[in-house]
Amino acid sequence: MVLAVSFQSGDSEIIQEKSQIETEADVIMPTKVSRPGCEETDSCYVPTIITVKQGNQVTWSNEDVAFHTVTSGFYDEPSALFDSGHLDPGERFSFVFNEKGTIDYFCKLHPWMAGKVIVE
């Protein structure tokens, strides 16, 4: 199943994709991160911080047995840049980063899960 959403934001096109197609993931949500503790070892999203070039896509894969999200911003202050919605086990979410900067993200269901994308 592939769900792709494309829309314009200023001068850049934003593409969001949610799928179960076998594509290589850049960031993994491993097993048992739905329980607190992964934040102590920076293993809620692996890697916790990823650096990409402007215009590149990042794909997250939910390899846990629980639902997760990939949502821009912070748990108490989400932003509107991207939101995967609930990812079932085995689902993937992709987002193209067209703007340089540092983007924080988190899981809406598990507030201890947090990561960061640095776009150069």
Tokens read off for 7 = 């829309």
pLDDT for 21 equals: 46
- Map residue 93 onto helix, strand or coil: strand
| pLDDT tens, per residue, the chain with 120 residues | 333 443 344 444 455 555 444 557 899 999 999 999 999 999 999 999 999 999 999 999 999 999 999 999 999 999 999 999 999 999 999 999 999 999 999 999 999 999 999 999
pLDDT for 24 equals: 79
pTM of structure = 0.81
Q: What's the Cα-to-Cα distance from 108 to each of 16, 68, 78, 90, rounded to whole Å?
A: 18, 7, 9, 18
Residue the block writes with tokens 């980063």: 97
Phi/psi for 68 (5° steps) reads -145, 170
Strands 57-62 and 27-29: parallel
Strands 92-96 and 57-62: antiparallel
pLDDT for 36 equals: 94
The overall longest dimension of the chain from CA atoms, in Å, is 40
Domains contained in the chain, CATH given: 2-119 (2.60.40.420)
- Alpha-carbon distance of 68 to 87, in angstroms, equals 5
Beta strands in 10-48 (DSSP E): 12-19, 27-29
